[in-house]
Chain A
Amino acid sequence: SQQGEEDPQALSIQEGENATMNCSYKTSINNLQWYRQNSGRGLVHLILIRSNEREKHSGRLRVTLDTSKKSSSLLITASRAADTASYFCATDYRNQGGKLIFGQGTELSVKP
């Protein structure tokens, strides 16, 4: 299976704290993507990081990619209650004629 793994599965923090979620994958990738899903809703794209990139930022979000360790992390700084959601990484293996596979997600709860 090419499915990556995310940890932690669940994370509970206080408003203002930082939240870090990790994603590991198994073989070479084209890019790695992070998505957010609010309960009962569709998925919203957050950041895409390509295999030749090491770090990307978007507002309070910071994503890193370590291809030697086959891992990525998503950092949300100064979290807010509105950040409460599930966060998924998706690994893009299409450069190998492969697929775009999601991890099982991290459920983040930010308490006010």
Chain B
Amino acid sequence: DAGITQSPRYKITETGRQVTLMCHQTWSHSYMFWYRQDLGHGLRLIYYSAAADITDKGEVPDGYVVSRSKTENFPLTLESATRSQTSVYFCASSDWNSPLHFGNGTRLTVT
């Protein structure tokens, strides 16, 4: 089915552990984005990618790493998770000058 899929939907991890959130889209959109959503902050951009092998920092990139070796995948890695990274993470994709298509989100809890 065409769409954008995030996995896992829910994740609990411990402080200091590495965790990777996955994002896969089937539209071949050039742009992909990672946002986090916390109460009182709306959505904040972590990283984005304009094409395969091209990534750039967003508003809150510290503590996160991304890669985009294939157009359809855009994983987000927390290298050493901290409690402040407890959040809901949304992946999105779009073409140029077009709306975003969002995944259903990953709810991450860091204990």
A interface list, Cβ under 8 A from B: 1, 3, 30-31, 33, 35, 41-45, 48, 50, 88, 90, 92, 94, 99-105
Contact = CB atoms under 8 A, between A and B. Distances in A.
B29 interface: no
Interface in B38-85: 40-45, 48, 50, 56, 58-59
Interface range on chain B (Cβ under 8 Å from partner): 20 to 34
Given A42-B104, A100-B45, A104-B42, A1 B96 contact: no
Contacts of A94: 31, 50, 96-97
Contacts of A103: 42
A107 B67 CA distance: 34
B59 A33 contact: no
Given A99-B58, A100-B33, A42 B45 contact: no
* Consensus secondary structure, chain B interface: strand
Given A42-B90, A43-B90, A99 B102 contact: no
